[in-house]
Amino acid sequence: MNHRNTLYSILDLALVSEGQSLQHTFTNTLALAQSAEKSGYTRYWLAEHHNSENIGSSATSILIGYVAQGTQSVRVGSGGIMLPNHSPLIIAEQFGTLASLYPNRIDLGLGRAPGTDRETAEAIRADFMQASQMFPKELESIQTYFSADNKNAKVRATVAEGVEVPIYVLGSSTDSAHLAAKKGLPYAFASHFATTHLWNALDIYRSTFQPSATLKEPYVITGINVIIAETDAAAQRLSTSLIQLIYGLFTGKRQAVQPPTDMTPYFEQILQHPQVQQMLKYSFIGSKATVKAQVQEFMEQTQADELIVVTNIYDIDDRIRSYELFAEIMQELT
């Protein structure tokens, strides 16, 4: 039994499934958030991605407002806003506005990656490469815009000044761990797909953490993939949609999320590829009992303060059920 009061949250990409419109996708996003709120999830984050027909969360700030409007208590935020794509001033204004509309419920997770391919990143911002190198400075700019002390500056985000919006550093490398520790900010590691540097990053963050006005001790969020169904076989079948997503990612043949099929030798062969195995290292797929044992071990190993869960499957009812079962697991373990 793990006696840590480990929180649990959702990271969503507003997945577009085959045969569904964007309107249907966004309706499903809200339905999932409402279910998550009932199941005791702490936060519901949306990830910024661009130029991908199977991901609907490109206008991330707008979707955050839509989800916050349709829920009552769950925290809603970005997992994350890819800061090099944006002006820090504009992001401060957007999230300051959101936090005024939905007080004490909005999170601002910030990442350095583009969330897209190179050509699209350059279409979003011609100086993207330079901007990515400016990430630490631009993070500081956002903090300044949210500060009540900025009211005498020449450049102000007036709707953000003094507004409470917690900032989280997102990362998939040790660079982000150093930055989060130096700034004394909570750290969310993308171990649901970037597994290689997890342990080094957590060690760096915890060992070099410097307390700040907002955070006195390190706070770690780790990402995991979870697919839970009534039986192991049923969960494995649902996972074939995820396998097809990953195959499309590696081959460049991206398409809407495909319906699940039987776990054929073809899918098993894809799963044996070293890159796929590395990417899915922290993926827990099976019945509730199977996943519970895996999650408990992961919690004991990482000592994470919070788990943020990704469930990339085709059908919204299956997704909601999987998240309900995961909430039951967390309530039993903590």
- From the number of C-beta atoms within 10 Å of its C-beta (0-12, 13-18, 19+), residue 127 rates as exposed
pLDDT over threshold 70, residue 43: yes
In a domain, 171, yes or no: yes
Q: Flag whether 14 is in a domain.
A: yes
What is the CB neighbour count within 10 angstroms for residue 32?
21
**What pLDDT score was predicted for residue 90?**
97
Beta strands 187-189 and 220-228 are: parallel
Q: What percent of the chain has pLDDT over 70?
A: 99
Q: 321 or 122, which is more confident?
A: 321
Q: What is the distance of C-alpha 193 from the center of its chain? A: 11
- pLDDT given at position 22: 96
User: Is residue 134 domain-resident?
Assistant: yes
For residue range 74-91, list pLDDT tens digits in order: 999 999 999 999 999 999
| CATH at 257 | 3.20.20.30
* pLDDT confidence of residue 1: 41
Q: Is residue 127 part of a domain?
A: yes
Do the domain assignments include residue 2? no
| Per-residue pLDDT at 253 | 79
Quote the pLDDT of residue 31: 98
Continuous segment of H or E residues that includes residue 306: strand 306-310
What is the pLDDT at residue 245? 92
Mean pLDDT of 324-330: 98
Domain count, the chain: 1
pLDDT digits (tens, 9 = 90+) for 57-71: 999 999 999 999 999
- Region 226-239: mean pLDDT is 97
What percent of the chain is predicted at pLDDT more than 90? 85
Band (3; pLDDT cuts 50, 70, 90): very low
Taking a C-beta distance cutoff of 8 angstroms, is the pair 198, 230 a contact? no
* pLDDT of 297 higher than 70: yes
| pLDDT for res 305 | 98
Surface-to-core class of residue 214, CB atoms within 10 Å of its CB (0-12 exposed, 13-18 middle, 19+ buried): middle
Average pLDDT over residues 101-123: 88
98 and 160 Cβ atoms separated by less than 8 Å: no
Angle ∠(165,193,64) on CA atoms, nearest 5: 30
Residue in 168, 174, 284 with CA at minimum distance from that of residue 221: 168
Q: What is the pLDDT of residues 170-213, one digit of tens each?
A: 999 999 999 999 999 999 999 999 999 999 999 999 999 999 99
Domain extent for 155: 7-333
Q: Look at residue 2 in the predicted model and tell me its pLDDT.
A: 45
Q: Give the other-Cβ count within 10 Å of 163's Cβ.
A: 19
Instruction: Please indicate, yes or no, if residue 1 is contained in any of the structural domains.
Output: no
In-domain check, residue 38? yes
What mean pLDDT value characterizes the chain? 94
The answer to the question of residue 188 being in a domain is: yes
